[in-house]
Copies of this chain bind each other. A is one copy, B any other.
Amino acid sequence: MKVNGTPMRTIWPVEAGKVVEIIDQTRLPHEFVTTQLTTRAEAAHAISAMLVRGAPLIGATAAYGMALAMAEDPSDANLKAAHEALYATRPTAVNLRWALEEMAVLLPGLAPAERAAAAWTRAGEICDEDVGLCESIGAHGLGLITDLYAKRGGTGVFNILTHCNAGWLATVDWGTAIAPIYKAHEAGIPIHVWVDETRPRNQGASLTAWELNSHGVPHTVIPDNAGGHLMQHGEVDMCIVGTDRTTRTGDVCNKIGTYLKALAAKDNGVPFYVALPGPTIDWTVRDGVKEIPIEQRDPAEVTRIWGKTDAGALEWVIITPEGSQAANHAFDVTPARLVTGLITERGVCPASEAGLSGLYPEKRT
């Protein structure tokens, strides 16, 4: 999407086989800085230090990391070492494992001299495939927005609430939950986005606000506490969120707090949609609340907040008293009964086993 009027991706090749460039997302929203990756070690650091984040972008970066590793040393030994080093950066990221597996299937059968070029090409394909997937989600979501807007009379601003960042910054381009919003904005529907700030890591206030602002989509940052009140008063026409993992029955694991918004949407008759690429469906899980383990992250992410001082310095501040502990559950699970529908690259379906297996018949067992 656009930054200062120029279309961009989150990762792009600069010199074939040698240099790939990324946005350093740790500096957003206060500084827009790009960084070039020229070695496997730099790619691994970009992932582990969260210069890149979001499952699809992590996968794409890992793929380019393998290509850079093969340019450094295409031996079997380095193939194994690079795979392990990149895998260790964020071991729970599904797309990371997937992208590395793609390379593990492709590269060993090739002569070492051919590996770097083949890996570079495949990394580019992985990026393009992700863009295609996200754009399809956007197109299907646009259909929903168009219908809902028409039902409402087709006038006035259409208000969409989102949680966390499932925008183009989390993918290679378009995003998942935000893709339909960009499509609708381009289609001329007067969209306004309520952006949950998304404590504790503030991905909404920093990343979603930044990308909507950069692309020119009207939006307002709100505390996570505010969505219920806005829905009670008719100020939300639709919710769209992303997901890290969807069960075969349509339960949705997403950033902590998603469940609370889904409850409020249900209580107020607001359509609640979840956008997801098919590969994030976990066909092995039936009961998301019972079966999905929820990561507990560093409590310091709750007690310390990062931002810009009036003097322009980027600083961390502590908000809790010395002696008080904090807890930091990263995700929660929204039961399928609260989800109006799932927006996938293959179309929209009910959040149910029947719905999902209708779109992904090859996964029926």
Interface residues of A (CB under 8 A from B): 28-30, 194-195, 197-200, 202, 205-206, 209-210, 212-213, 219-230, 232-233, 255-257, 259-261, 263-264, 267, 289, 294, 302-310, 315-329, 331-333
Contacts and interface: CB of A to CB of B under 8 A. Distances in A.
Contacts of A333: 229, 232
Nearest to A200: B223
A228 B227 CA distance: 14
13 contacts: A29-B320, A29-B324, A202-B319, A209-B321, A209-B324, A220-B324, A221-B302, A225-B255, A229-B331, A263-B263, A304-B307, A309-B315, A309-B318
Nearest to A232: B289
A95 B195 CA distance: 35
A225 B320 contact: no
Contacts of A327: 194, 220-222, 226
A194 B324 CA distance: 11
A94 to B, nearest CB: 21
A228 B213 contact: no
B324 A219 contact: yes
B263 A213 contact: no
Contact of A263 (B260, B307, B331): B260
Contacts of A28: 321
B317 A309 contact: yes
A302 B256 contact: no
A232 B294 CA distance: 12
Contacts of A222: 302, 326-327, 329
Given A319-B305, A320-B206, A220 B325 contact: yes
B210 A321 contact: yes
B226 A256 contact: yes
